[in-house]
Structure 1
Amino acid sequence: MRVSAGFDLAPPGLTRMRLIAGLLLVAMAVLYLVSRQFVPLHPIWGFVRAFAEAGMVGGMADWFAVTALFRHPLGLPIPHTAIVPRNKDRIGDQLASFLRENFLVTHVIARRMRRIDVAGAASRWLTDPAEAAGGRFRAGASKLAAQVLDALDPQRLGGMVKAAVAHRLAETQVAPVAGQLLKAAMAENRHKPLLDAAIRWAGAALADNEHLIRQIVHDKAGSVLRWTGLDETVSNKLIDGLKNLLEEMASNPEHPLRVRAENGLDILAWDLRFDPDMGARVERLKGELIANPAMQRWLDGLWEQARAGLLAVARDPERVMRGRLGEVLRQMGETLATDRRLATTINRFVRRAAVGVAADYGDSIVRLVSETVQGWDTQTITRRLENAVGKDLQFIRVNGTLVGGLVGLVIHGVDVALG
């Protein structure tokens, strides 16, 4: 399918030069007609006629050459005219080949990228004040990001994000990761504050539920115990014993129950990492958790919060830059400016990425250029090329007219001298 870009107006400079070249050719014709009448009166008019005659020939020849590039002169199908329309596809192929051979070459891109300081540009972008170029760029990029986020369908995008998160969670083997984390925490004694917190929670739960314990003992006790009031004594002894046990566990790191709890955690860490049955149980629990409607609602809320945060950042980047995030970004910019090793690493990574893109997608880019040019209709490519170089081609017509006239003067002068 041929794609037309519509009507491209000629630039004012091209129209003006066409008018000048055309008027100069007309002036030569008028001068030729006038000078012919005065040749018998004085020899000088012979030189004027020779200049005008040769100027007409040179102007007409260059008009034909310039016109033949883009169309048939006077609409006549003269061979080897309308060169651009007839060779449009070949021009696209050659342009694409030129781009591939001279620009999308890995060693050329690598050499060019060595002179580009991406880390330095990122540092200036992160540290420049709002009125600097970095601030203006941030404002423009933020406005564009906000428009893109507003234009996207929140429900559809949210569904995609939620599906991606759920898919990622489903693919992740939770048990080995949890076991490794638990093992690392126990190796650094980071599990002990967790045990202390569990003991304190048990103590608080016991204090809040003493009445339930007393009621249970009362209900389970026989009528004799209730009649004698021993059920209350049993309740007090039970509650006091549990309190003393929890206090001893809290104060004694080597308490036997604490040691058994740590052994249990150690076994759990091993089972999570190596026991297939434990891994299968964890995976089943994970699947049930992901499928739970409450989890789905949590993921929806998580996406909405993230989207609202992104919109807030995009709509007012300078406010964010004044906050803690802005301080972190500025510190990153300062680090890039001072840490040459990090800057070198980033620049090397960007250079390799650019070279990789050229190596992997260079042919696709070239094919895109070729197919785009081939997809233009002949009128479109003719107008675009003529608008691009037509002004200089009209200068050729002017020069051809004047140079032709000067050559005519020389020839007439030689003829007079020899005659």
Structure 2
Amino acid sequence: MSQPAQALAPVARSDADAYAKLSALRRTKFLATAALALCVVIFAVAKSFEGRFAWLGFVAAFAEAATIGGLADWYAVVALFKRPLGLPIPHTAIIPENQNRIADNLGRFIEVNFLAQEPVREKLAEVDFSALVADWLSDADRAAGLSRFVGRLVPQTLGAIEQSGLRGFVTSRMLEQVEKVPLAPLAAELLSALTDDRRHQKLFDEFTKVVGRFLSDEEALATMREKIREELPSLFNLFRADAYLLKKIVASAGSLLDEVRADPDHPMRAEFDRFVESFVERLRTSKQYARRAEKLKRDFLARPELKALAGDMWDSLRLFIEQDAKAENSMIRAHLANMFVEVGRHLAGDPQIRADMNQGFIVALASFVESQKSGVSKFIADQVKRWDLAQLTRLIEMNIGRDLQYIRFNGMVIGGLAGVVLYTAERLFLVN
């Protein structure tokens, strides 16, 4: 079936249903009217021959009361939708005359009985929202589509952040929070973690290597020799004592450094351990060290280079994101898609998280319905008020009119039986 045909199919079915209801209503109306006419005929015939056949009195009583009952119920049914025989009788055409009141009452009825908080929560509790979310996210194609959507929004979000001043606000707030952190105790904790398992000795080894390279540097040695020459008497310099002393110092220092690097239990290492432990303890407890650390931190945070560095990092991050978002094989989109799929799988396998999510959905949606239900009531009332009166009457009559016509049948039967009972009582108690 083509798409236009599929679109027209529900309309065709709706028209067919309406035609069937209208046909059934007309048949029922005809039968009820025919039954009423039959009662009139039976009453006339029975009354005509009642003198010759006494039992026809019961028939006449039944037909008479059935006619009255049928006429009364016909009036009641017709008065719902229009004025009987077009006469301006009060309290008739009830539905058309009370359209606004019916609309308001219908809106309030739906608000009170269908949109109350408890029924809404109970209905929402029947839906497993988290399972729907998990199934949706677990599909790779849907996750990829969602990642593309998010990828398109990221550059716009970054631009909005810059225009709104949020970037500067976040940067300043981060600096404020960093400034509140005590630096000395934090440094003490970091150094304590570094000294665990003697890991600080690796730093000591690197220091000895740096000193060793310094002692083998020609320029450094020349500078040291010049210092020695300045401190020695001139007589010693005539015998090149400076070169001799420098050679001995370098050789002794180099030998000492080699011993330290080769011996993990060297006394200098133990001395370095004590120095580090003492320094960490002073950082942790000394007020003087704390004041110096805080001043150093404030000076560092106040430097304009730090803000410039933060700005450069932001610009670099934004440039990378914008270029990656435009790329055909975007890394960000690929990671987002994988992340969404993983989130869906983990959500599907964790009943506790699903239960918490469902409860959150129930609270959010129930609160939304609670805040909007008065608007829903007004919307329904306004829609009913705008309905065409003829269309409204026809719609109601078409859907419940057939059942109302059966009231006419019931009225004739009940009225006829009541007429027989009254006629029988009259014959038994009044004639005698």
Structure 1 pair 404/77, CA: closer, same or farther in 2 (3 Å)?
closer
Question: 1:61 is matched by which residue type in structure 2?
Answer: L
Shift of 1:104: 8.9
Unaligned ranges ≥5, structure 1: 1-11, 44-50, 65-71
Worse-matched range after superposition: 154-163 or 375-384: 375-384
> Could you say which residue in structure 2 is the equivalent of 1:4?
none
Structure 2 counterpart of 1:257, from 263, 268, 288: 268
> Could you say which residue in structure 1 is the equivalent of 2:117?
99
TM-score by length of 1: 0.59
SS of equivalent to 1:169: helix
> Could you say which residue in structure 1 is the equivalent of 2:396?
396
Structure 1 pair 368/322, CA: closer, same or farther in 2 (3 Å)?
closer
Q: Is 2:306 aligned against 1:287?
A: no
Structure 2 counterpart of 1:61, from 68, 77, 80: 80
SS of equivalent to 1:253: coil
Unaligned ranges ≥5, structure 2: 1-9, 42-69, 84-93, 420-432
Alignment of 1:142-291 (within 5 A): 142-153=151-162, 156-208=165-217, 209-210=219-220, 211-218=222-229, 224=235, 228-291=239-302
Asked if the contact 2:151/2:325 (under 8 Å) is kept, the reply is yes
Tell me the distance in 2 between the aligned counterparts of 1:222 and 1:56: 142
Instruction: Give the RMSD, CA atoms, in angstroms.
Output: 5.8
Shift of 1:405: 4.8
Per-residue Cα deviation, 1:248-306 (whole angstroms, up to 9, x for no partner): 33223233332222211111222233333333322222222222222222333334444
Shift of 1:142: 3.5
Q: Is 2:348 aligned against 1:348?
A: no
SS of equivalent to 1:254: coil
Tell me the distance in 1 between the aligned counterparts of 2:360 and 2:151: 29
Shift of 1:151: 3.1
SS of equivalent to 1:188: helix
Asked if the contact 2:229/2:237 (under 8 Å) is kept, the reply is yes
Worse-matched range after superposition: 260-269 or 212-221: 212-221
Tell me the distance in 2 between the aligned counterparts of 1:154 and 1:125: 32
Tell me the distance in 2 between the aligned counterparts of 1:205 and 1:381: 92
> Could you say which residue in structure 2 is the equivalent of 1:83?
104
Tell me the distance in 1 between the aligned counterparts of 2:309 and 2:192: 29
Query: Identity percentage over the alignment?
Result: 16
Structure 2 counterpart of 1:121, from 124, 134, 137: 134
Question: 1:249 is matched by which residue type in structure 2?
Answer: V
Per-residue Cα deviation, 1:88-130 (whole angstroms, up to 9, x for no partner): 7x9878887x23675299xx96x977x9459x939x847x54x
SS of equivalent to 1:135: helix
Worse-matched range after superposition: 236-245 or 304-313: 304-313
Structure 1 pair 237/169, CA: closer, same or farther in 2 (3 Å)?
same
- Of structures 1 and 2, the larger Rg is shown by 2
Tell me the distance in 2 between the aligned counterparts of 1:84 and 1:240: 106
> Could you say which residue in structure 2 is the equivalent of 1:7?
none
Asked if the contact 1:57/1:404 (under 8 Å) is kept, the reply is no
Per-residue Cα deviation, 1:128-155 (whole angstroms, up to 9, x for no partner): 54x3x33233333443444433433268
Tell me the distance in 2 between the aligned counterparts of 1:333 and 1:357: 18
